[in-house]
Amino acid sequence: MELVYPQEKYLLSYSEAYAEEQASDDPEKMLKEPEIAIECAENERKGEGLPEGWVPATTLWLVDGQKFIGRVNIRHWLTPHLMQFGGHIGYMIRPSERGKGYGKLQLALALDYCRAHLRDTIDGGKVLVTCDDDNIRSAKVIKANGGVLENKVENFESGRTVLTRRYWIEL
């Protein structure tokens, strides 16, 4: 199991994961359409053509052989909005692979990537990882990777108020 840059050779499995996510009842759809996923990831990494308020970010895919398991997005720095909601690292596991410990592994590998490649761009040698207050699985993943809860803040996202947990992890 490893984190890799998005590549064509994983696109069939990614497409299957995309279909799973679209069919799920999860309101937060985090995967891009397969036709544009690789190009979008490259543009985000370079900071090209980003929507207003977005920052450069590295997208990596967790794969097992040829199978796409999940996606992690590592933001290179934080805006005031990302300081409250989003943080440095966002991640997801495809619906059929949830509950198998992959989230914990994926975040650990993402932290290793930050240590190796982004230490100079991340202020203070620590990363912020957030999750909704009611997302107990994600909170456990973050804590298992050394996350220390700083606080909980209210955010208004997608037309609703969300209580967000803010964790810091030392690199």
pLDDT digits (tens, 9 = 90+) for 112-142: 999 998 877 776 789 999 999 999 999 999 9
20 within some domain = yes
150 within some domain = no
Measure the CA–CA gap between 41 and 5, rounded to whole angstroms.
8
Domain count, the chain: 1
Measure the CA–CA gap between 30 and 138, rounded to whole angstroms.
15
25 within some domain = yes
Give pLDDT, residue 25.
80
93 within some domain = yes
**Whether residue 27 has pLDDT greater than 70:** no
CATH number of the domain to which 107 belongs? 3.40.630
Closest to 141 (Cα-Cα) out of 165, 157, 114, 115: 165
Give me the domain span that covers residue 107.
Answer: 2-122
145 within some domain = no
14 within some domain = yes
Give pLDDT, residue 120.
74
Residue 3 backbone zone (phi > 0: left; psi -120 to 50: alpha; other: beta): beta
Measure the CA–CA gap between 117 and 77, rounded to whole angstroms.
13
